[in-house]
DNA sequence: AGTGCGATTGACT
DNA sequence: GTCAATCGCACTA
Protein backbone atom coordinates (compact mmCIF):
# COMPACT_ATOMS: atom_id res chain seq x y z
CA UNK A 1 0.00 0.00 0.00
CA UNK A 2 1.32 3.44 -0.97
CA UNK A 3 1.39 6.73 0.85
CA UNK A 4 -1.76 8.02 -0.83
CA UNK A 5 -3.71 5.12 0.63
CA UNK A 6 -2.57 5.91 4.13
CA UNK A 7 -3.59 9.52 3.73
CA UNK A 8 -7.09 8.63 2.60
CA UNK A 9 -8.01 5.77 4.88
CA UNK A 10 -11.77 6.26 4.74
CA UNK A 11 -12.40 6.62 1.05
CA UNK A 12 -14.14 3.27 0.73
CA UNK A 13 -17.87 2.99 0.82
CA UNK A 14 -19.13 1.43 4.03
CA UNK A 15 -16.14 1.91 6.27
CA UNK A 16 -16.28 5.66 6.55
CA UNK A 17 -17.86 6.16 9.94
CA UNK A 18 -18.31 4.08 13.07
CA UNK A 19 -21.60 2.35 13.80
CA UNK A 20 -23.61 4.41 16.30
CA UNK A 21 -24.04 2.49 19.54
CA UNK A 22 -27.79 3.01 19.31
CA UNK A 23 -27.82 0.79 16.21
CA UNK A 24 -26.26 -2.16 18.01
CA UNK A 25 -28.86 -4.70 19.16
CA UNK A 26 -29.10 -4.80 22.94
CA UNK A 27 -28.79 -8.55 23.46
CA UNK A 28 -25.77 -10.74 22.81
CA UNK A 29 -27.21 -13.24 20.33
CA UNK A 30 -28.77 -10.48 18.23
CA UNK A 31 -25.49 -8.61 18.20
CA UNK A 32 -23.56 -11.70 17.11
CA UNK A 33 -25.87 -12.10 14.13
CA UNK A 34 -25.93 -8.36 13.43
CA UNK A 35 -22.14 -8.08 13.24
CA UNK A 36 -21.95 -10.50 10.30
CA UNK A 37 -21.27 -8.37 7.23
CA UNK A 38 -20.09 -5.33 9.20
CA UNK A 39 -16.61 -3.88 8.72
CA UNK A 40 -13.81 -3.98 11.28
CA UNK A 41 -11.32 -1.15 10.76
CA UNK A 42 -7.80 -1.02 12.23
CA UNK A 43 -5.86 2.24 11.98
CA UNK A 44 -2.11 1.99 12.47
CA UNK A 45 0.85 4.27 11.88
CA UNK A 46 1.67 2.48 8.64
CA UNK A 47 -1.87 2.63 7.33
CA UNK A 48 -5.37 1.22 7.61
CA UNK A 49 -6.38 -2.41 7.44
CA UNK A 50 -9.95 -3.61 7.43
CA UNK A 51 -12.13 -6.61 6.76
CA UNK A 52 -15.70 -7.76 6.59
CA UNK A 53 -16.82 -9.84 9.57
CA UNK A 54 -17.89 -13.28 8.35
CA UNK A 55 -17.99 -15.32 11.58
CA UNK A 56 -18.91 -14.59 15.21
CA UNK A 57 -19.78 -16.41 18.42
CA UNK A 58 -22.08 -15.26 21.23
CA UNK A 59 -21.02 -15.70 24.87
CA UNK A 60 -24.27 -14.90 26.60
CA UNK A 61 -25.31 -14.03 30.16
CA UNK A 62 -25.19 -17.13 32.37
CA UNK A 63 -23.06 -19.01 29.82
CA UNK A 64 -20.67 -21.47 31.49
CA UNK A 65 -18.30 -21.07 28.52
CA UNK A 66 -18.16 -17.29 28.90
CA UNK A 67 -15.35 -15.53 30.70
CA UNK A 68 -17.81 -13.44 32.68
CA UNK A 69 -19.49 -16.52 34.14
CA UNK A 70 -17.77 -16.26 37.53
CA UNK A 71 -18.00 -12.51 37.79
CA UNK A 72 -15.68 -9.61 37.08
CA UNK A 73 -11.91 -10.08 37.30
CA UNK A 74 -8.95 -7.93 36.19
CA UNK A 75 -8.83 -9.74 32.87
CA UNK A 76 -12.48 -9.70 31.88
CA UNK A 77 -13.69 -6.35 33.18
CA UNK A 78 -14.15 -4.98 29.64
CA UNK A 79 -16.90 -7.52 29.08
CA UNK A 80 -18.92 -5.55 31.61
CA UNK A 81 -18.69 -2.29 29.66
CA UNK A 82 -21.68 -1.01 27.72
CA UNK A 83 -22.10 -2.81 24.38
CA UNK A 84 -19.63 -1.92 21.64
CA UNK A 85 -16.38 -2.02 23.63
CA UNK A 86 -13.40 -4.29 22.93
CA UNK A 87 -12.52 -7.19 25.21
CA UNK A 88 -9.14 -8.64 24.20
CA UNK A 89 -7.44 -11.55 25.94
CA UNK A 90 -4.64 -13.99 25.26
CA UNK A 91 -5.69 -17.60 24.66
CA UNK A 92 -3.34 -20.58 24.89
CA UNK A 93 -0.45 -18.28 25.62
CA UNK A 94 -0.17 -17.22 22.01
CA UNK A 95 -3.37 -16.08 20.30
CA UNK A 96 -5.24 -12.88 21.06
CA UNK A 97 -9.04 -12.99 20.88
CA UNK A 98 -11.13 -9.94 20.01
CA UNK A 99 -14.61 -9.64 21.48
CA UNK A 100 -17.28 -6.95 21.41
CA UNK A 101 -19.04 -6.35 24.71
CA UNK A 102 -22.73 -6.89 24.16
CA UNK A 103 -25.00 -5.86 27.02
CA UNK A 104 -25.72 -2.83 29.21
CA UNK A 105 -22.98 -1.58 31.56
CA UNK A 106 -22.49 -3.94 34.49
CA UNK A 107 -23.64 -7.08 32.65
CA UNK A 108 -20.81 -9.30 31.43
CA UNK A 109 -21.26 -10.83 27.97
CA UNK A 110 -19.67 -10.55 24.56
CA UNK A 111 -19.34 -11.56 20.94
CA UNK A 112 -16.12 -13.17 19.71
CA UNK A 113 -15.06 -12.06 16.23
CA UNK A 114 -13.76 -15.26 14.62
CA UNK A 115 -13.01 -14.41 11.01
CA UNK A 116 -12.75 -11.58 8.48
CA UNK A 117 -12.79 -11.29 4.74
CA UNK A 118 -9.80 -8.98 4.17
CA UNK A 119 -10.77 -5.70 2.54
CA UNK A 120 -8.27 -2.82 2.73
CA UNK A 121 -4.62 -2.92 3.74
CA UNK A 122 -4.08 -6.49 2.62
CA UNK A 123 -0.34 -5.98 2.26
CA UNK A 124 -0.19 -4.78 5.87
CA UNK A 125 -1.99 -7.91 7.01
CA UNK A 126 0.32 -10.09 4.92
CA UNK A 127 3.29 -8.49 6.65
CA UNK A 128 1.76 -8.93 10.10
CA UNK A 129 0.91 -12.58 9.44
CA UNK A 130 4.05 -13.47 7.49
CA UNK A 131 1.98 -15.23 4.86
CA UNK A 132 0.68 -14.31 1.41
CA UNK A 133 -2.52 -16.27 1.02
CA UNK A 134 -5.43 -13.85 1.47
CA UNK A 135 -7.86 -16.58 2.44
CA UNK A 136 -5.79 -17.41 5.54
CA UNK A 137 -5.00 -13.86 6.69
CA UNK A 138 -7.91 -13.57 9.12
CA UNK A 139 -9.58 -16.99 9.05
CA UNK A 140 -9.65 -17.75 12.78
CA UNK A 141 -9.76 -15.48 15.83
CA UNK A 142 -6.05 -15.56 16.62
CA UNK A 143 -5.05 -15.04 13.00
CA UNK A 144 -7.45 -12.12 12.74
CA UNK A 145 -5.84 -10.48 15.76
CA UNK A 146 -2.35 -11.01 14.38
CA UNK A 147 -3.34 -9.60 10.97
CA UNK A 148 -4.75 -6.44 12.56
CA UNK A 149 -2.19 -6.24 15.38
CA UNK A 150 -4.81 -6.52 18.07
CA UNK A 151 -3.47 -7.14 21.57
CA UNK A 152 -4.25 -6.28 25.17
CA UNK A 153 -3.39 -2.64 24.59
CA UNK A 154 -6.69 -2.31 22.75
CA UNK A 155 -8.67 -3.88 25.60
CA UNK A 156 -11.51 -1.63 26.74
CA UNK A 157 -11.53 0.50 23.59
CA UNK A 158 -14.83 1.96 22.39
CA UNK A 159 -15.46 0.43 18.96
CA UNK A 160 -18.22 2.93 18.20
CA UNK A 161 -15.74 5.82 17.96
CA UNK A 162 -13.03 6.70 15.49
CA UNK A 163 -9.69 5.45 16.78
CA UNK A 164 -7.23 2.60 16.41
CA UNK A 165 -10.03 0.03 16.07
CA UNK A 166 -13.69 0.51 15.24
CA UNK A 167 -16.76 -1.03 13.61
CA UNK A 168 -18.13 0.29 10.33
CA UNK A 169 -21.26 -0.29 8.34
CA UNK A 170 -21.21 -3.03 5.69
CA UNK A 171 -21.63 -2.12 2.04
CA UNK A 172 -24.59 -4.34 1.31
CA UNK A 173 -26.69 -7.26 2.49
CA UNK A 174 -24.12 -9.87 3.50
CA UNK A 175 -26.05 -12.96 2.40
CA UNK A 176 -27.39 -16.05 4.10
CA UNK A 177 -26.25 -16.51 7.69
CA UNK A 178 -25.67 -20.01 9.06
CA UNK A 179 -25.74 -21.07 12.69
CA UNK A 180 -23.88 -23.83 14.52
CA UNK A 181 -22.31 -24.92 17.80
CA UNK A 182 -19.32 -22.90 18.95
CA UNK A 183 -15.79 -24.04 18.23
CA UNK A 184 -13.24 -25.18 20.80
CA UNK A 185 -15.25 -25.04 24.01
CA UNK A 186 -16.13 -27.76 26.51
CA UNK A 187 -18.90 -26.26 28.63
CA UNK A 188 -22.31 -25.34 27.20
CA UNK A 189 -20.99 -26.78 23.97
CA UNK A 190 -24.30 -27.76 22.40
CA UNK A 191 -25.82 -24.33 22.15
CA UNK A 192 -26.03 -22.96 18.60
CA UNK A 193 -24.31 -19.64 19.24
CA UNK A 194 -21.93 -19.45 16.30
CA UNK A 195 -22.93 -17.41 13.24
CA UNK A 196 -21.23 -17.30 9.87
CA UNK A 197 -21.72 -16.27 6.28
CA UNK A 198 -22.64 -19.44 4.40
CA UNK A 199 -21.18 -18.30 1.11
CA UNK A 200 -17.83 -17.16 2.52
CA UNK A 201 -14.56 -19.04 2.01
CA UNK A 202 -13.06 -16.89 4.80
CA UNK A 203 -14.94 -18.74 7.56
CA UNK A 204 -12.91 -20.90 9.99
CA UNK A 205 -13.75 -24.28 11.45
CA UNK A 206 -14.33 -27.81 10.23
CA UNK A 207 -16.81 -28.46 7.45
CA UNK A 208 -18.85 -30.71 9.72
CA UNK A 209 -20.04 -27.79 11.80
CA UNK A 210 -21.30 -25.82 8.85
CA UNK A 211 -24.82 -27.23 8.77
C1' DA B 1 3.19 -19.53 46.03
C1' DG B 2 1.88 -23.45 43.28
C1' DT B 3 -1.02 -25.52 39.83
C1' DG B 4 -4.01 -26.66 35.90
C1' DC B 5 -6.09 -25.08 32.04
C1' DG B 6 -7.77 -23.13 27.88
C1' DA B 7 -13.15 -19.12 23.06
C1' DT B 8 -5.80 -21.64 18.99
C1' DT B 9 -2.41 -22.32 15.79
C1' DG B 10 1.02 -24.43 12.89
C1' DA B 11 3.68 -28.36 12.12
C1' DC B 12 3.46 -32.96 11.14
C1' DT B 13 1.80 -38.39 10.02
C1' DG C 1 -6.47 -36.46 10.39
C1' DT C 2 -3.34 -35.80 15.19
C1' DC C 3 -0.65 -33.15 18.58
C1' DA C 4 2.23 -30.15 21.39
C1' DA C 5 3.75 -25.29 22.26
C1' DT C 6 2.91 -21.55 25.28
C1' DC C 7 1.77 -18.29 29.27
C1' DG C 8 -1.52 -15.32 31.70
C1' DC C 9 -4.82 -15.99 34.83
C1' DA C 10 -8.13 -17.86 38.10
C1' DC C 11 -8.33 -20.93 41.68
C1' DT C 12 -6.67 -23.45 45.74
C1' DA C 13 -4.03 -23.42 50.08
Q: State pLDDT tens for residues A18-35.
A: 999 999 999 999 999 999
* CATH for A170: 3.10.300.10
C9 C1': nearest CA residue: A75
Neighbouring C-beta atoms of residue A48, cutoff 10 Å: 21
List protein-proximal bases of chain C (any atom < 7 A from a CB). Answer: 1, 5-11
- pLDDT tens for residues A128-150? 999 999 999 999 999 999 999 99
Question: What does the pLDDT read at residue A26?
Answer: 96
**Torsion A91-A97-A102-A107 (CA) sign:** positive
pTM of the model as a whole: 0.92
* Mean local confidence (pLDDT), A48-58: 98
Nucleotides of chain B touched by protein CB (<7 A) = 6-10
DSSP assignment of A130-177? T---GGGTSBSHHHHHHHTT--GGGTT-BTTSSSSEEEE--SS---PE
pLDDT greater than 80 at residue A208? no
Rounded distance between C-alpha atoms, residue A51 and residue A65, angstroms: 27
What confidence tens digit (pLDDT) does each residue in A70-104 have?
A: 999 999 999 999 999 999 999 999 999 999 999 99
Domain count, chain A: 1
Q: pLDDT class for A209, splitting at 50, 70, 90? A: low
What domain range is A96 assigned to? Answer: 3-209
Q: How many Å apart are A32 CA and C8 C1'?
A: 27
Amino acid sequence: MGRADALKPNRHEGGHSPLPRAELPVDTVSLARYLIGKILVREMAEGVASGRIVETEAYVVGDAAGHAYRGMTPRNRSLFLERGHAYVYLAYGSAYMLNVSSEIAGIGAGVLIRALEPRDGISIMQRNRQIERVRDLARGPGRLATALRVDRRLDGLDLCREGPLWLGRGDHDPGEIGQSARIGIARDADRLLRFYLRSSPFVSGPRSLKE
